Amino acid sequence: MYFTEALAVLVRRWYVVLICGIAVTGGLFLAVKEVPTQYQASGEVLLLLPPAATGKGTPSNPYLNLQPGLTTMATITASELNSKPVHREFVKAGFMSDYAIGVSPDTGPLLLVTVKDIDPEEAVATREEVMRRVTQQLDTLQRGLDVPETQRVYSRRSDSSRPAEAVPGAKIRACAVIGGGGVVATIMIVFLVDRIARRFRRKRAAEQLDPDLADTEEHHRLKLARSVSEDEDDGGRPGKARDAAR
């Protein structure tokens, strides 16, 4: 079917398009109203060495002394806190928000914490717990290794306790699904209605033509029967005359 023919069908069944459009609009309105707003609380944790890590007589700026080993520790910490057992521990402790921890590949040992929830306070609370767990995990990694205090890695927050921010992604996705699905469904319904209507119209036209055809066939049968009867009569008259003559 060409585009012009499809467009003609849509124009011809404009009332179906209108009804479906109203239904899709109602669905979009409900999505905006009913889909809960999602909030995101994010934060960063940077792993650093003490200033005396380069020697007590030659202290250095921790931000300039970002050794590759710090990135390794950040990766191990993120992997541990992202594990399923730790997630179950969070849920058991009452922190139901979804969280994720990643390592920024371009900034060294920087842990990126992201927490999402429909409750902004829950998102912030879970973020604070994740931050606390990062420090706890660092202590666990270094405990028992006799790490000198001058080489002991510590964490420093750089998020300044930002509040949770609204993220409209859930509403946008819901509207996109409803809108796209509504357009496809509308086109399918329009073509289905058009096909049913055309089939019904052809059926009615055939029903209107059938009586005429029936009358024509009946007339032909009667005419044929009359012709046969006349032939029989004509064929029987000579025989009757001969019988009378005898």
Q: pLDDT digits over 133-161, tens only?
A: 999 998 888 887 888 888 888 888 876 56
What are the boundaries of each domain within the chain?
Answer: 3-33+172-196, 38-167
Is residue 37 over pLDDT 90?
A: no
Q: Which pLDDT score is estimated for 7? A: 82
Q: Which pLDDT score is estimated for 241? A: 42
**CATH architecture classification, 38-167:** 2-Layer Sandwich (3.30)
Higher pLDDT, 209 or 51: 51
Higher pLDDT, 184 or 212: 184
Lowest model confidence (mean pLDDT) among 67-76, 199-208, 230-239: 230-239
pLDDT band at 31; cut points 50, 70, 90: confident
d(CA 105, CA 1): 52
Q: Which pLDDT score is estimated for 92? A: 92
- The pLDDT tens digits of the residues spanning 176-205 come to 998 899 899 998 998 898 888 888 887 777
Q: What is the mean pLDDT of the chain?
A: 81
Is residue 212 over pLDDT 60?
A: no
Decide: 71 and 107 in contact? Cβ < 8 Å: no
What number is the average pLDDT over the span 8-18?
Answer: 85
The region, left, alpha or beta by phi > 0 then psi within -120 to 50, assigned to residue 157 is beta
Higher pLDDT, 112 or 171: 112
SS (H, E, C) the chain: CCHHHHHHHHHHCHHHHHHHHHHHHHHHHHHHHHCCCEEEEEEEEEEECCHHHHCCCCCCCCCCCCCHHHHHHHHHHHHHHCCHHHHHHHHHCCCCCEEEEEECCCCCCEEEEEEEECCHHHHHHHHHHHHHHHHHHHHHHHCCCCCCHHHCCEEEECCCCCCCEEECHHHHHHHHHHHHHHHHHHHHHHHHHHHHHHHHHHHHHHHHHHHHHHHHHHHHHHHHHHHHHHHHHHHHHHHHHHHHHC
Q: Which pLDDT score is estimated for 225? A: 65
Q: Which pLDDT score is estimated for 245? A: 40
pLDDT band at 81; cut points 50, 70, 90: very high
Q: Which pLDDT score is estimated for 240? A: 44
pLDDT band at 238; cut points 50, 70, 90: very low
What percent of the chain stands above pLDDT 90? Answer: 20
Q: Which pLDDT score is estimated for 239? A: 47
